[in-house]
Amino acid sequence: DRKVGPRRRCILATGGAGYIGSHVAVELLSAGYRVVILDNFENSDRRVLSRISRIAPGGDVALVEGDVRDPATVEDVLRSHDVDAVIHLAGKKAVGESVADPLLYFHDNLLGAVALMQGMRAAKVPHLVFSSSATVYGLPKVLPIDESAPTGVTNPYGRTKLMIEQMIDDVAASWRGFRAISLRYFNPVGAHRSALIGENPRGVPNNLFPYVAQTAAGLRERVRVFGGDYETRDGTGVRDFIHVVDLARGHVRAVDLLLRSSGGWPLSHRRINLGTGRGYTVLEVIDAFAQACGGPIAYEIVDRRPGDVAVSLADPSLAAELLGWRAEHDLQAMCRDHWAFQLQSAPPAPRPVDARAPAA
Ligand code: WQD
């Protein structure tokens, strides 16, 4: 008779074909989990599945093209793949877009979370890791920021993250045995060392790293530095950038904890920061990226961006305590890996010829 080893636990990653999701899928496979990706490819690329398999050959990963906003789809995926826990990454995440169209964000992010948890309840899958964001802290009053810091809302996107955390509290109170962890991401950057997966934003990037990478590749004229008069060491904004592979490994530890701990789970919903505890300014990032790509990166200091905070910095000690997790990649690795992915996804455009240069 076929020797049946211990049953591999299975994790559903909604939005698993996206930037964060694909890295989470790779780390889950490396940790021995089966993975099911549910994605509607609205903001991700079908080719990601083959790249995940190239990075983690032999990994048991399945892809379901579908929409998390349909409870029946969720329930069906959970049952047919015998899922043990869900990591919910599907959702819209552009701050500026959320300000312009809040109803789109309430519809997609809030109803997506409601439908997901309805499907989980119907399929009796009681373990959830939710992709939350440091943006729920609003304007931080104390730095570094720990999980007890007051929350605040500075945009509709951040409001949906905070509201979903609160919805999870209510679901936990109503469903005995349900356990959840909301991971509050600081600033995810970088890419897998293989350069097979990474961040491929559509249109003009809102975030700093992809914009710097595209400038380094000659696809953008220069980086606009939003504000040079903050109370920081060089006047530009400070952020807690975290390598996406470190972030992904934090998700695996969170799933391990949910599936490992017995009923003695003190709180049925924990919030945990995923950050490094180390901040870098915008100019320090540009400088580090110039070193990684081996050439100068043009920038111009312009007015502050409305809604930006001066400094965002994590206190990551709860993640170390509860998850036994700590970020390991430094800024150089973040820039090196982000640049390597940029190179393979869009080879450098010819540098704009300086029209003033004398003809050769
Ligand atoms: C970082 C720093 C900017 C672009 C946002 C969301 C957060 C999460 C990550 C989704 C700031 C400066 C940026 C540029 C610049 N998103 N900057 N020129 O605003 O910290 O966080 O993205 O989960 O929820 O709020 O990240 O990369 O946009 O900005 O000077 O072209 O870089 O002012 O100081 P942010 P960011």
pLDDT at 264: 58
Q: Is the CB of 208 under 6 A from ligand 1?
A: yes
Look at ligand 1, atom 27, and give the residue with the nearest C-alpha.
Answer: 207
Is the pTM above the cut of 0.90? yes
Selection from 133, 94, 88, 139 nearest residue 111 by Cα: 88
> Which amino acid, residue 259?
L
pLDDT at 267: 76
What span, in angstroms and rounded, lies between the C-alpha atoms of 131 and 19?
Answer: 12
Q: Look-up: residue for tokens 């190179």?
A: 343
Q: Are 206 and 94 spatial neighbours (Cβ–Cβ below 8 Å)?
A: yes
Look at ligand 1, atom 7, and give the residue with the nearest C-alpha.
Answer: 135
pLDDT at 360: 44
What span, in angstroms and rounded, lies between the C-alpha atoms of 118 and 110?
Answer: 12
Q: Are 34 and 10 spatial neighbours (Cβ–Cβ below 8 Å)?
A: yes
Q: Is the CB of 194 under 6 A from ligand 1?
A: no
> Which amino acid, residue 196?
L
Residues (pLDDT < 70) of the chain are 1-4, 262-266, 351-360
**Cβ partners under 8 Å of residue 40, min gap 6:** 65, 66, 67, 68, 90
Look at ligand 1, atom 18, and give the residue with the nearest C-alpha.
Answer: 225
Where does the chain have alpha helices with state H? 19-30, 48-55, 71-80, 95-100, 102-105, 111-123, 156-174, 208-216, 244-260, 282-293, 317-323, 331-345
Q: Is the CB of 211 under 6 A from ligand 1?
A: yes
pLDDT at 21: 98
Look at ligand 1, atom 28, and give the residue with the nearest C-alpha.
Answer: 207
Selection from 60, 65, 89 nearest residue 76 by Cα: 65
Distance 90 CA to ligand 1 centre (A): 20
Selection from 246, 238, 239 nearest residue 191 by Cα: 246
What span, in angstroms and rounded, lies between the C-alpha atoms of 116 and 122?
Answer: 10
Q: Are 327 and 316 spatial neighbours (Cβ–Cβ below 8 Å)?
A: yes
Omega cis (within 30) before 144: yes
Q: Quick check: is 230 catalytic?
A: no
pLDDT at 357: 53
Q: Which of 43, 88, 95 to mutate to test ligand 1, by most ligand atoms within 8 A of the CB atom?
A: 95
Q: Is the CB of 237 under 6 A from ligand 1?
A: yes
What does the DSSP 8-state code read for residue 47? T
SS3 347: coil
Q: Is 309 left (phi over 0), alpha (psi -120 to 50) or beta?
A: beta
Distance of CA 228 to the CA centre of its chain: 27
**Cβ partners under 8 Å of residue 359, min gap 6:** none
Q: List, for residues 282-310, the tens digit of each pLDDT value.
A: 999 999 999 999 999 999 999 999 989 99
> Which amino acid, residue 70?
D
- The answer, yes or no, to whether ipTM is higher than 0.95 is yes
Q: Is the CB of 135 under 6 A from ligand 1?
A: yes
Among 105, 157, 280, 299, the active-site one is: 157
Q: Which atom of ligand 1 is nearest to the CA of 187?
A: 9
What span, in angstroms and rounded, lies between the C-alpha atoms of 179 and 86?
Answer: 11
Angle at 262 between CA 256 and CA 267, to 5 degrees: 85
Selection from 43, 41, 42, 37 nearest residue 21 by Cα: 37
Q: List, for residues 80-130, the tens digit of each pLDDT value.
A: 999 999 999 999 999 999 999 999 999 999 999 999 999 999 999 999 999
